[in-house]
Structure 1
Amino acid sequence: MSRQHAGVLFGGILFLVVAMGISRFAFTPILPFMRDDEGFSLEVGGWLASSNYIGYFVGALGAGFIYKKKKNFLMANVLINVISIIVMGLTHSFVLWILLRFIAGATGGFIFVLTSSIIMDYLATHLLTRWSGFLFSGIGLGIAISGLVVPFLESFVSWQGTWIGLGALSALFLCTTLFLWRRITVQDGEKIEKSGDTNIWKGFMPWLILAYGLEGLGYIITGTFLVDIIYNIEGLRAYAGYSWVVAGLAAVPSAPIWVTLMTKLSPIKAMSIAYILQVIGIVLPVFSQTAWGVFLSAFLFGMTFVGLVTMSTGYARQLFPNQSGTIVSILTTFYALGQIVGPILASKFEAHFNSFKAPLLFAGAIVALALVILVVGKWWSDQRQVAEDIIREKERARV
């Protein structure tokens, strides 16, 4: 890979660091500090998280309709996203927090879909698709950065200064990508009219979309409350921040690892393994409230959720290579729908049972259901395809 190609890819990675690792997931390690200082409940934290995911849903859905000047639109969204991060540290108003988390989510949805589409198309144009998995390492890198930076900054400037510091870091990443992308030209997309050959709502695709949506619902409960749960377990508070670093570091290499595994086995087998490991990681703190259990849970979470994002979007793009923007947008929209519901349900379960175990068991069950839908859907669509092929052969024989 040439220096220019590597720079373009690295710029995309930095945008995912900003939109996913910092704008979205820095909220996870900051949440316990905000709750301590501001005195709000886990349920309030769930509403703040869901506001972000509602915004992400809007952004992901809207990104599917952006066909022209994608690069300029993307840059504008990153700038607004950075501003929303900084302003989080300048107010104590719950109403403004809700609005800011929504703005961060909406711009994050646009950033994720447009960055993924631009980089995937760029790599495909230059015959470098084998490097596409590295793009999603930006999610894990951002999580690791937030896990390291948040407790460090908070010890000096409290949670308010932490948001501002993260915003400044995000601004630096934006400027870096502007420099790296200064020479690339993004071709305008074309709206593809629906036809029998491009209908994504046939065959296996609806099953993949549904499974991916349930994955969004299940994983986000751990993704939102993992640090807060550990922070409030007696004897494990010291490990809370480190657990998020472990999750991020595990996520960094996970995308290329899972892409490689997907080519050696098959997309469905690789995704099934990831789902199984994620279920184990989600429910592990229910049965083991020890340091090793916490770190293993965080490791399995980080290793699998980025891998499932990479494999699901990559496999969908293989099925519909000419509709990368639309495919990623639809998948991300259903993923975001699950994320909206997840934190709210988790906080309700926690309040009703007065235990962190209930939401984790619920999350594990949802991800297990996603696995069942994925496997059953693949089997059903394959059987249907075989039946359709037999019918076609019979019709040809009659002619």
Structure 2
Amino acid sequence: MHSHTQGSLWMLIWAGLCASLVGIGLARFAYTPLIPALIEAHWFSAASVVYLGAANLAGYLVGALIGRPLALRYSSAAVLRAMMLLVSLAFLACAWPLSVAWFFSWRLLSGIAGGVIMVLAASSILPHVAAGRRGLASGAIFLGLGLGIAGSGTLVPVLLAQGLASTWIGLAVVAMLLTLSSWRGWPADVVHAAPPAAAQESATPSGGVRLLFAQYALMAASLVAPMMFLVDYISRGLGAGTHKGALVWTLYGIGAIVGPVVYGYLADRLGARMAIRLVLVIQLVALGVLVESQDLYLIGGAVLVIGSFPPGIVPLALARVHQLVDGHARQNATWSRATVSFATFQALAGYAYSALFSASQGNYRLLFAVAVGAVALALLLELPALLGRRNAAPDLRLGRL
């Protein structure tokens, strides 16, 4: 199974990177720097534009649920190619603002494609990669998210100079080129065997797994506010303009590129659980800066940290699943449920933040404060374990640092 040459290994990695870049990096994150332009061009009202952003998150949940059933029915390669084509088509369709319903449908479809890609891309590639190179391969696949965010921060302003419709068409062309360049990179499917009964039955998860699900869900809820509102906050909320907004979004993208590598390293050094605690504390401070400060330099520094969070926590949570659960089948089943838990809260948070944004007459800092609360709650969930094991838990000492 691992008879791939160096060249075909890189082709596999390229396919995975392109999929996450198109399906999540661009499909979700290129929308954020477009929000001020969509409002200023009067394509839709401010409230509608925000709800349209949340449509992608709702689609992501649907995609996370249907990804594996689709792969069992068709080949993973065929499904992944179809999803990348769907994203390209959705970008093209968004060049014509025919109605809110039309736009909503295409944003929803692009979200579904992203959810399917998140569930299938890594799992279709990693079985074909030698064990010693899997860390590199999965890191490169998640790197697509960061590249998409950083790319959207630089590409969107350039395209916007040609007009809003041209921007959507330009994104469609970029997505299609990436789709075609990776078309032959997808491996033939490993024959799908039915998962064993042990993996299918929803065995009661351990306390550790339940804690991880709760924390992962709260992390999802916290990362939505900056993801959806950051550029609009800088551009319109602080009156710094579209250019500064895009610049801050590029910093977010740089953080997202660095995140998976740094967080993976922390998980290796400290263990996944200690790394999660440390990352939550740092995230709490960074989000606090967003709530309290209006200094663009301070905000820029905080945004680098905040940007590392969405793609960085994926390998961290995956490492924690592998720590808590034995056996590949059970690990895959647990990871699938964790992804659905994450996607559910991300979608719910998207609509909750949108409603709060409208109800508070556009109070951005209130939204960021809610995100601070979600991270604080994720940390508080650790208290019983910390208090209960303070005396008898040598693993909590920082000697290994």
| Pair in the same fold by TM > 0.5 | yes
- Does the C-alpha gap of structure 1 residues 209 and 293 become closer, same or farther in structure 2, counting only changes over 3 Å? same
Between stretches 228-237 and 92-101, larger displacement belongs to: 228-237
Q: Which amino acid aligns with 2:93?
A: V
**Structure 2 CA distance, aligned partners of 1:17 and 1:377?**
39
Q: Which runs of 4+ in 1 moved over 4 A?
A: 376-383
The corresponding residue for 1:195 is 198
**Structure 1 CA distance, aligned partners of 2:387 and 2:127?**
31
Which secondary structure state, in structure 2, belongs to the residue aligned with residue 214 of structure 1? helix
Tell me whether 1:91 sits opposite 2:90 in the alignment: no
Which secondary structure state, in structure 2, belongs to the residue aligned with residue 232 of structure 1? helix
Between stretches 268-277 and 163-172, larger displacement belongs to: 268-277
1:287 deviates by 1.2
Between stretches 297-306 and 224-233, larger displacement belongs to: 297-306
The corresponding residue for 1:291 is 296
1:338 deviates by 1.3
1:320 deviates by 4.8
- Aligned equivalent of 1:367, options 375, 380, 385: 375
**Structure 1 CA distance, aligned partners of 2:125 and 2:281?**
29
Identity %: 23
The corresponding residue for 2:68 is 64
Q: Deviations over 1:20-39 (max 9, x none)?
A: 11011111011110011126
Q: Is the 8 A contact 2:267 2:319 kept in 1?
A: no
**Structure 1 CA distance, aligned partners of 2:148 and 2:322?**
24
Which secondary structure state, in structure 1, belongs to the residue aligned with residue 313 of structure 2? helix
Which secondary structure state, in structure 1, belongs to the residue aligned with residue 28 of structure 2? coil
The corresponding residue for 1:266 is 271
Tell me whether 1:222 sits opposite 2:229 in the alignment: no
**Structure 2 CA distance, aligned partners of 1:152 and 1:381?**
55
Q: Which amino acid aligns with 2:111?
A: G
Q: Is the 8 A contact 1:61 1:330 kept in 2?
A: no
Which secondary structure state, in structure 2, belongs to the residue aligned with residue 86 of structure 1? helix
Tell me whether 1:358 sits opposite 2:361 in the alignment: no
Q: Is the 8 A contact 2:44 2:100 kept in 1?
A: no
Q: TM-score, normalization: structure 2?
A: 0.87
- Does the C-alpha gap of structure 1 residues 86 and 281 become closer, same or farther in structure 2, counting only changes over 3 Å? farther
**Structure 2 CA distance, aligned partners of 1:382 and 1:120?**
37
**Structure 1 CA distance, aligned partners of 2:12 and 2:190?**
15
Q: Is the 8 A contact 1:42 1:347 kept in 2?
A: no
Which secondary structure state, in structure 1, belongs to the residue aligned with residue 182 of structure 2? helix
Q: TM-score, normalization: structure 1?
A: 0.87
Q: Which amino acid aligns with 1:361?
A: A
Q: Which amino acid aligns with 1:300?
A: V
Q: Is the 8 A contact 1:74 1:111 kept in 2?
A: yes
The corresponding residue for 2:175 is 170
Q: Is the 8 A contact 2:92 2:168 kept in 1?
A: yes
Tell me whether 1:207 sits opposite 2:211 in the alignment: yes
- Does the C-alpha gap of structure 1 residues 62 and 200 become closer, same or farther in structure 2, counting only changes over 3 Å? farther
1:55 deviates by 1.1
Q: Which amino acid aligns with 2:33?
A: P
Tell me whether 1:3 sits opposite 2:33 in the alignment: no
Q: Which amino acid aligns with 1:113?
A: V
The corresponding residue for 1:279 is 284
- Does the C-alpha gap of structure 1 residues 119 and 277 become closer, same or farther in structure 2, counting only changes over 3 Å? farther
Structure 2 unaligned segments of length 5 or more: list them: 394-401
- Does the C-alpha gap of structure 1 residues 329 and 381 become closer, same or farther in structure 2, counting only changes over 3 Å? farther
- Aligned equivalent of 2:344, options 337, 341, 348: 337
Q: Deviations over 1:242-289 (max 9, x none)?
A: 111111112112212211111111101111222222222223222111
Q: Which amino acid aligns with 1:273?
A: L
The corresponding residue for 1:395 is none
Q: Which amino acid aligns with 1:54?
A: A
Equivalent residues in 2 for 1:1-399, closer than 5 Å: 2-38=6-42, 40-65=44-69, 66-67=71-72, 69-123=75-129, 125-131=130-136, 132-156=138-162, 158-181=163-186, 184-195=187-198, 199=203, 201-237=205-241, 238-317=243-322, 319-323=325-329, 325-354=332-361, 355-373=363-381, 375-376=382-383
Which secondary structure state, in structure 2, belongs to the residue aligned with residue 38 of structure 1? coil
Q: Which amino acid aligns with 1:229?
A: Y
Q: Which amino acid aligns with 1:371?
A: L
**Structure 2 CA distance, aligned partners of 1:327 and 1:139?**
23
Q: Is the 8 A contact 2:142 2:260 kept in 1?
A: yes
Q: Is the 8 A contact 1:204 1:377 kept in 2?
A: no
Q: Which amino acid aligns with 2:115?
A: G
**Structure 2 CA distance, aligned partners of 1:159 and 1:120?**
39
Structure 1 unaligned segments of length 5 or more: list them: 387-399
Q: Which amino acid aligns with 2:349?
A: G
Q: Is the 8 A contact 1:21 1:141 kept in 2?
A: yes
1:382 deviates by 8.8
Which secondary structure state, in structure 2, belongs to the residue aligned with residue 195 of structure 1? helix
Q: Which amino acid aligns with 1:102?
A: L
**Structure 1 CA distance, aligned partners of 2:55 and 2:270?**
38
Which secondary structure state, in structure 2, belongs to the residue aligned with residue 109 of structure 1? helix
How many residues are treated as equivalent by the alignment? 379
Q: Is the 8 A contact 1:70 1:188 kept in 2?
A: no
- Does the C-alpha gap of structure 1 residues 234 and 361 become closer, same or farther in structure 2, counting only changes over 3 Å? closer
